[in-house]
Structure 1
Amino acid sequence: MLLNNRLELTDRDLMMLEVVNRWRIAQPKHFCSLLGFPSIEYVRKRIRKLEINGYLKRDLRQGREAQIFSLGKKGKEVLELQSVGKVSDATVRHELGVLTCTCFFREYFPEAKLDYHSIITDRDFRVHEYKKGNYHGYGKMNRTGDLTFKVGNDWWIVEYEKEKKDAFRLQTNVSANKNRAYGQIWVYPKVKSSIYHGLLEAREYIGIDDAQFKLLTFEEVEKVLKRPSKRLATLSTNPIDVLIEEFYSYSEHREMDLFHTPY
């Protein structure tokens, strides 16, 4: 696919642009893990070509050494995007963490064959609901997890929790996840033990089996980025909208009034 005299975009280049579009930003280590590049050095060389030609641009707010990239002008043109809103510093840090979690769960559940379109992001849900207008019988979700995916016949919700929340809010979020999916996984920084204990208390209060409630430290999750993935990325044959509709259908019979749980 020749788009100018200096760079011919490959299928993997296009997937790099798609990854940045879905998560707003990405680092070389995320491309290497999620897309199955052979080495981080190869990724950096490819990113450099995309950056020089205007398809990616470097985000310097976290420091040049962070190597964070977002879509450049030509990248937006290739994906036919009208505009992309400005991303706050807090959102950058959170999205990088969520993208790291995506790389981890792609490896953690190999039997689920998780890949680009089989992991739903919070942003995917919001775009989908906006397009649905009156939601065609589905109520708009008050909140969604950072990631949602299916393992066998069961749906899981992943939450990346960086800061401590009050007990009531944690209980509400844990209860909402219980009502919408089979299981939930919470990822938190190891040093934030208060988050860990708060989640354990919420699980006990709501009443959730250990098999359906998992806690992982971000440091454990981050280890997946230390080595390239052996799994080549593929695009799903099912559009993301179809997967979202399937989740709605699954969760509809589970959805209950949150206030049925006595707080």
Structure 2
Amino acid sequence: MKNIRLVQRDYIIFNEIFRWKIITGKHICNLTGFTGQRACNQRLYKLKNAGFITRQKVLYGFPGIYKLTSKAKKLIAVPNYKEQIRLEQVFHDSKVLDTAIYFHHKYHIPFSDIATEKQLHSKDGFSNRKHRPDFIFSLDRKTNCVEVELTPKSKQRLEKNVLENFQNYHLQYWIIPDFKTKIYTNLSELQRGYPNIEIIELGEIN
């Protein structure tokens, strides 16, 4: 391992890696203000060689996923539990971060004003596994939530989540594959009773 001198941006990188379930080099570049991907990759390579982060290839054709080592977790004072990557959730969790970056650019929301599902569960206590959206953000002093819904849930479960979001947030944004899916049909029907629902096609995010 090589020793390197850490700078403020490195701590931002560590915190972003920890608070999202899945994060790639492209995400880190967007989240932490690098001028280009090459400069970001070079810094990540140095942090990896210094033993602060790991990069895992978990699916063919999918970019490497970054995680913190215990060395980095100690530096930013976060729990040192082992984090499992759920292969069936990799695409979804990656799209959640793509969506956060989209909202950041569209509404000029600072990333510091975005709280992830992981952070929300941490505040709840991990023994209290109630439903939480994929992330929430503040805009004009109002808190909104975002749900990335790529596979259909039962209508009963979907309405339960919609109701909870209706009670707790100003607007609830639902990101779905396209407007031809069963998810869209069910959400459109629920909009009649829950007018704070906004539906966005995944293609707009990409």
Q: Give the counterpart letter for 1:66 in structure 2.
A: P
* TM-score, structure 1 as length reference: 0.70
Q: Which is higher, the Rg of structure 1 or of structure 2?
A: 1
Q: Number of residues paired by the alignment? A: 205
- For 2:175, which of 169, 172, 187 is the aligned residue? 187
Secondary structure at the counterpart of residue 61 of structure 1: coil
Does residue 120 in structure 1 map to residue 118 in structure 2? no
- Cα distance in 1 between the residues matched to 2:49 and 2:60: 19
Give the TM-score, by structure 2 length. Answer: 0.88
Cα gap change, 1:172 to 1:126, in 2 (>3 Å): same
| Bigger relative contact order, structure 1 or 2 (CA pairs below 8 A, ≥6 apart) | 1
The Cα offsets for residues 76-128 of structure 1, whole Å up to 9 and x where unpaired, read as: 23233322332221343332221111111111212xx4322x11122212211
Maintained 8 Å contact 1:174/1:203: no
From 11, 14, 19, the counterpart of 1:14: 11
* RMSD over equivalenced CA pairs, Å: 2.4
Q: Quick check: 1:188–1:217 contact (8 Å CA) kept in 2?
A: yes
The SS at the match of 2:137 is: strand
Separation (CA, whole Å) in 2 of partners of 1:191 and 1:50: 42
**Post-superposition, which runs of at least 4 consecutive aligned residues in structure 1 deviate over 6 A?**
none
CA separation in 2, counterparts of 1:63 and 1:199?
33
Identical counterparts, % of pairs:
23
> CA–CA distance in 1 between the matches of 2:51 and 2:146?
33
Residues 83, 158 of structure 1: alpha-carbon distance in 2 compared, 3 angstrom cutoff = same
Which runs of 5 or more residues in structure 1 are unaligned? 134-139, 223-263
- 1:215 aligns to 2:203 (yes or no): no
Unaligned runs of 5+ in 2: none
The change in CA–CA distance for 1:192 and 1:6 in structure 2 (over 3 A counts) is: farther
**Aligned amino acid, residue 8 of structure 1:** R
Cα distance change of structure 1 residues 144 and 65 upon mapping to structure 2, 3 Å threshold: closer
Alignment of 1:38-187 (within 5 A): 38-63=35-60, 66-80=63-77, 81-110=79-108, 113-116=109-112, 118-130=113-125, 142-187=130-175
Give me the whole-angstrom Cα distance separating, in 2, the residues matched to 1:38 and 1:181: 34
> Does the aligned pair in 2 maintain the 1:24–1:70 contact within 8 Å?
no
Shift of 1:72: 2.6
Instruction: Please state how far the C-alpha of 1:38 moved relative to its aligned partner.
Output: 0.2
Decide whether the 8 Å contact of 1:170 with 1:202 is kept in 2: no
